[in-house]
Amino acid sequence: MKNFYYKTFQRDSKVYLSRSSSFLGPIVFFLITITLYPLAFGSDEEKLAELASGIIWISILLANLLSHQFIFNEDYKDGSLDLVLASGKSLFIWASIKIFVNWYFSSLPLIFLSLLTSFMLYLPFDAALILALTLFLGTPILSMFGALAGALTLERGNIVGSSIVIPMCLPALILGILAIQSYKNEELFFYIFLLAAFLFFSIPILIASCLGAIRLHFE
């Protein structure tokens, strides 16, 4: 008999793969947004290179908003969440797996795509590598805040969730952009360390908050 948590991972992965809109939506949105910026700002290399880090981070933040409703909402509506609560298994591990699968399908492809698109925005190669590092540290934070917003708004629409997520994600966004902009300075390590610390402390706090928010719907 396969483990409960392994089955959760397998089941969620299959659901994402079978419903292409859940992971293709953010990718298409990201590509369209990134393409629009050079059209709006013109092809001035220096200007685009200067704005690239902000453009990519903001596009990823907005693309992420499209996927956070998938994390818990469907399980709540189709009764899967009832079954999980009745199972007596660790909800913390279950929620962590669900957030990881969401990150894996929604954010990981965007990190690789951002590396490709960074050259379109004339971002130097060294800065592009720092961009990837900041996104590896920052996008899990975005996914966890997205999960929290999704958990708080299980019965409501996506707009409410998005308006909750964006302000909460700003520290990660600012630290990520500052790290890329200071890729030649020693300050880089300070911002990377802060972003890593933010991720480290976010994991237990945000996942526990997600569980609290879910529990509110069962009272």
CB of 81 vs another protein, minimal distance in Å: 8
Query: In this chain, which stretch among 2-10, 115-123, 170-178, 182-190 interacts with another protein, using CB under 8 A?
Result: 2-10
Residue 77: CB minimum distance to another protein, A:
7
Among the listed residues 49, 85, 108, 196, the single contact to another protein using CB under 8 A: 85
Considering the rule CB under 8 A, would residue 217 count as an interface residue with another protein? no
**Looking at beta carbons only, is 168 or 208 nearer to another protein?**
208
Q: Which of 24, 36, 83, 159 touches another protein (CB under 8 A)? A: 83
**Given the complex with another protein, which of 196 and 211 has the nearer CB atom?**
211
Contacts of 32 (CB under 8 A, 6+ apart): none
Binding of residue 40 to another protein (CB under 8 A): no
| Element containing residue 43 per DSSP (H, E) | none
d(CA 81, CA 11): 13
Which of 44, 45, 77, 159 is the binder for another protein (CB under 8 A)? 77
Residue among 115, 114, 15, 128 nearest 73 (CA): 15
| 7 scored as a contact of another protein (CB under 8 A) | yes
Annotate 110-158 with DSSP letters as a single string. HHHHHHHHHHHTT--HHHHHHHHHHHHHHHHHHHHHHHHHHHHTTTS-H
- Cα gap 39→59, rounded to integer Å: 15
Site of tokens 């990981």: 108
- Cα–Cα nearest to 11, from 91, 101, 95: 101
Nearer to another protein, 14 or 184 (CB): 14
Which C-beta is closer to another protein: that of 75 or that of 173?
Answer: 75
Do 75 and 83 touch, CB atoms closer than 8 A?
no
* Least Å from the CB of residue 131 to another protein: 33
**Residues in touch with another protein (CB under 8 A):** 1, 4, 7-8, 10-11, 14-15, 18-19, 74, 77-80, 82-89, 218-219
